[in-house]
């Protein structure tokens, strides 16, 4: 990959070659539902029309021809306003990859400057924001004198972290939200992030396009994605003339000049020197000194996870999957955002109910991403994506499913808990690209907590497949040319996976038979891809026997290490039971002699105070 030109050169041989003709590089955006659906900018208007016309899918909204041009009148802050399909309601320069590039950030500011000088404005109901990836961005925008133009268009700095791309844009104005929902408007968001999967950006934006920062500003000014920038004006100047895209787009020379003058080395040094010292708010947080983390059972943000609570020194072995019910049946491209959304918590969701029962007000719900330290919230948020399409519901969109034994329509979480309480395992049926998108660990943890034992799909995203194995969920692939539809699987069946009962007999990539209670039978490939058969100890939570023991030992040793110098009363019964009798030595506070502590240390009548040694671990 790398060449040292000071050495003698010989022709390199590569397994494959990629040719890029720079003359063919052109401006693009991507969307409206997936980051890899690239749309050349010159084809955007045509592509948008196609999306309105096409059946519901990754590139379709199935809007009837007769309603595609409708205009919705509403009142925004006592002023008349309008919305139609494709109108932009969120425009965000986010803290993702693009904001690390001074050229595009300053290009966005130059677009804003040119627009302001011509008298262009962003419609007031469009929610605009700027979330730089670094404090350096703020420094060079201010140094250049261009930040004020971004501010004038509404692109004020809102913070320095994940925002709109992860669903943290916050609510849009209620009048705008009502106009969208009550009239079935396909509203748009344009953002400079790197993810735009369904339901991720905002509940009210069904179309979400990824664009460079200067294009975000341009689309905010245009107010719609239904525009051909080459032939249609982006707005009207203060003197009544049409303003086109070319009129506000900076040249490469303009961008280079402002970068050269405004992006200075000292900015980076000053910003990053201060990182380790924190800030006043962080530094003033009260912290109780302790060698053990003190779990707060009332916290709705951080809760002790259950993964190790039933762990024993002897691995329990594989868990058979017999007569499992289908929890959900999906088509293609179910992303980790469908499985474990990171954005806002819907007011009617199981997670919202959980938080409300604990006196958390709706304004303080925050997001799933911010509460990922609480397994109770995240389990309830699993498959809570509002754009979920579950075949068990015949095309109905939303985070619900059918509880097969009763026929009830329930939230996915409630159905899963009903299966678990009745002692039933569950599986998931899916199409191609299951688990694509962000490599989100909760997309495997969540289904495990819901009781899912296997996912049967056409294929898996690589990292998500590994994460499923890591949580003890069996990934199975249909044979080529087969899927749930071709095999006649309705999801009403009960499924038995005929894995060998001895984990040592399970081989990577082997075929197994899956049978159903109505007589169907088909072959799947087990997607345990490691060459080490011990990896197939799925009953150990996905770990090999060696890994299982190692995880247990590391966990126990870490607990033991934390006990050193710990006040004895701070130790929990659980910790003592795990470490075993007479392995923890503490000082007798009366005479400074050492004494072993047993699991019932508080009943022995010895006033012990501080742990000084942990033996035999």
CATH code: domain of residue 368: 3.20.19.10
**Of 149-153, 408-412, 469-473, minimum mean pLDDT range:** 469-473
| Overall number of domains in the chain | 3
Question: Which CATH number belongs to the domain containing residue 249 in this structure?
Answer: 3.30.499.10
Residue 385's pLDDT band, with cuts at 50, 70 and 90, is very high
* Tens of pLDDT, residues 324-368: 999 999 999 899 999 999 888 988 999 999 999 999 999 999 989
- Say yes or no: 231 and 380 in one domain: no
pLDDT over 70 percentage in the chain: 85
Q: Which pLDDT belongs to residue 554?
A: 45
- Taking residue 362's Cβ as centre, other Cβ atoms within 10 Å add up to 10
Claim to verify: residue 460 and residue 556 sit in the same structural domain: no
Tokens encoding 480: 């080529």
pLDDT at 526: 93
| pLDDT of the residue at 56 | 87
317 φ, ψ to 5°? 90, 175
Does residue 282 belong to any structural domain of this protein?
Answer: no
294: in domain: no
**237 lies in a domain?**
yes
Say what the pLDDT of residue 357 is.
Answer: 96
Q: Is 15 exposed, middle or buried (0-12, 13-18, 19+ CB in 10 A)?
A: exposed
pLDDT per position as a tens digit, 1-23: 677 777 777 777 888 999 999 99
For residues 33 and 58, the answer to whether their CB atoms sit within 8 Å is: yes
**Pair (555, 506) in one structural domain:** no
Both 497 and 453 in a single domain?
yes
pLDDT band at 585 (very low <50, low <70, confident <90, very high): low
Residue written as tokens 């709109």? 164
Identify whether residues 560 and 515 lie together within a single domain.
no
> Which of 544, 338, 315 is CA-nearest to residue 455?
338
Per-residue pLDDT, 88: 98
Judge if 133 and 168 occupy the same domain.
yes
Residue 413: closest CA among 464, 457, 354, 373: 354
- Taking the chain, what is the end-to-end CA distance rounded to the nearest angstrom? 46
Domain-embedded: residue 594: no
Domain that holds residue 551: 545-587
The residue among 214, 232, 261 that closes a domain is 261
* Domain-located, residue 276: no
**Average of pLDDT values for 25-47?**
95
- Residue whose C-alpha is closest to residue 85's, from 191, 225, 233, 229: 225
The answer to whether the beta carbons of residues 452 and 444 sit under 8 Å apart is: no
Residues 490 and 582 in one domain: no
Helix residue ranges per DSSP H, 228-315: 245-248, 252-262, 265-273, 280-283
Spatial distance between the Cα atoms of 535 and 474, rounded to a whole number of angstroms: 12
Q: For position 508, what pLDDT does the model report? A: 86
Whether residue 578 is predicted with pLDDT greater than 50 in this model: the reply is no
Residues 497 and 358 placed together within one structural domain of the fold: yes
Cis peptide before 570 (omega within 30 of 0): no
Tokens 């969109």 belong to residue = 397
Q: What pLDDT shows up at residue 303?
A: 94
CA 223 – CA 85 distance, rounded (Å): 11
Residues 240 and 359 in one domain: no
- Residue 471 and residue 334 share a domain: yes
Give CA–CA dist 230/233, Å, rounded: 8
Whether 567 and 513 map to the same domain: the answer is no
**Residue 109 pLDDT grade (very low, low, confident, very high; cuts 50, 70, 90):** very high
pLDDT in tens, 273-332: 878 787 888 888 888 888 888 889 999 999 999 888 777 777 666 778 999 999 999 999
pLDDT higher than 80, residue 555: no
The per-residue pLDDT of the chain, averaged, comes to: 86
Rounded Cα–Cα distance for residues 417 and 426 (Å): 11
Is the model's pTM score more than 0.85? no
533 pLDDT band (50/70/90 cuts)? very low
Q: Token digits for 24?
A: 């063919």
Last residue of a domain, one of 526, 558, 579: 526
Using pLDDT thresholds of 50, 70 and 90, give the confidence band for residue 505. confident
Same-domain pairing of 514 and 396: yes
Single out the residue of 575, 550, 573, 547 nearest to residue 561, CA to CA: 575
Residue 86 lies in a domain: yes
């Amino acid at each position: 990959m790398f060449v040292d030109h000071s050495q003698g050169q010989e022709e390199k041989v590569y397994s494959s070659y990629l040719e890029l003709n720079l003359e063919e590089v052109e401006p693009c955006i991507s969307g409206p539902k997936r980051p890899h659906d690239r749309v050349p900018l010159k084809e955007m208007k045509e592509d948008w029309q196609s999306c309105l016309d096409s059946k519901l899918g990754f590139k379709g909204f199935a809007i009837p021809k007769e309603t595609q041009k409708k205009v919705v009148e509403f009142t925004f802050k006592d002023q008349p306003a309008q919305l139609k399909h494709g109108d932009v309601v969120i425009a965000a320069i986010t803290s993702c990859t693009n904001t690390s590039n001074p050229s595009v950030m300053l290009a966005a500011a130059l677009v804003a400057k040119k627009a302001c000088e011509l008298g262009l404005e962003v419609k007031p109901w469009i929610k605009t924001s700027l979330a730089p990836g670094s404090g350096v961005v703020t420094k060079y925008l201010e140094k250049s004198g261009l930040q004020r133009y971004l501010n004038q268009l509404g692109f004020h700095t809102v913070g320095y972290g994940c925002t709109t791309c992860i669903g943290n844009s916050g609510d849009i104005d209620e009048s705008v939200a009502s106009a969208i929902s009550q009239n079935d408007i396909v509203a748009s968001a344009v953002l400079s992030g790197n993810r735009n999967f369904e339901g991720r950006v905002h509940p009210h934006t069904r179309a979400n396009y990824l664009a460079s920062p200067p294009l975000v500003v341009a689309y905010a000014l245009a107010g719609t994605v239904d525009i051909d920038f080459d032939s249609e004006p982006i707005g009207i100047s203060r003197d009544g003339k049409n303003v086109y895209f070319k009129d506000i787009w900076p040249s490469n020379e303009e961008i280079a000049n402002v970068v050269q003058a405004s992006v200075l080395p000292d900015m980076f040094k000053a910003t990053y020197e201060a990182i380790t010292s924190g800030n006043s708010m962080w530094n003033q947080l009260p912290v109780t000194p302790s060698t053990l983390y003190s779990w707060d059972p009332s916290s709705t943000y951080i809760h002790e996870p259950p993964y190790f609570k039933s762990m024993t020194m002897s691995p329990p072995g594989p868990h058979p999957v017999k007569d499992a019910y289908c929890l959900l049946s999906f088509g293609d491209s179910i992303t980790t955002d469908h499985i474990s959304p990171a954005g806002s918590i819907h007011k009617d969701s199981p997670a919202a109910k959980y938080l409300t029962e604990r006196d958390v007000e709706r304004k303080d719900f925050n997001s799933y991403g911010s509460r990922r330290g609480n397994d109770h919230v995240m389990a309830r948020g699993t498959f809570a994506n509002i754009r979920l399409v579950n075949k068990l519901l015949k095309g109905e969109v939303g985070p619900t499913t059918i509880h097969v034994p009763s026929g009830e329509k329930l939230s996915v979480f409630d159905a899963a808990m009903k299966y678990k309480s009745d002692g039933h395992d569950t599986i998931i049926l899916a199409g191609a690209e299951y688990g694509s998108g962000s490599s989100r660990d909760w997309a495997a943890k969540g289904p495990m907590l819901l009781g899912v034992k296997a996912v049967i799909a056409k294929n898996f995203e690589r990292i998500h497949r590994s994460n499923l194995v890591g949580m003890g969920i069996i990934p199975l692939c249909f044979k080529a040319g087969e899927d749930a539809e071709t095999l006649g699987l309705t999801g009403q069946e009960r499924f038995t996976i005929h894995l060998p009962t001895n984990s040592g007999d399970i081989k990577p990539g082997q075929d197994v038979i899956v049978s159903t209670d109505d007589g169907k039978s088909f072959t799947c490939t087990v997607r345990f891809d490691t060459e080490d058969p011990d990896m197939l100890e799925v009953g150990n939570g996905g770990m090999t026997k060696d890994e299982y023991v190692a995880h247990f030992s590391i966990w126990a040793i870490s607990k033991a290490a934390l006990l050193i110098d710990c006040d004895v009363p701070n130790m929990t019964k659980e910790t003592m039971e795990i470490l075993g009798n007479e392995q923890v030595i503490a000082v007798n506070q009366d005479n400074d002699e050492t004494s072993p502590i047993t699991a019932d240390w508080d009943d022995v009548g010895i006033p012990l105070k501080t742990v000084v040694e942990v033996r035999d671990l």
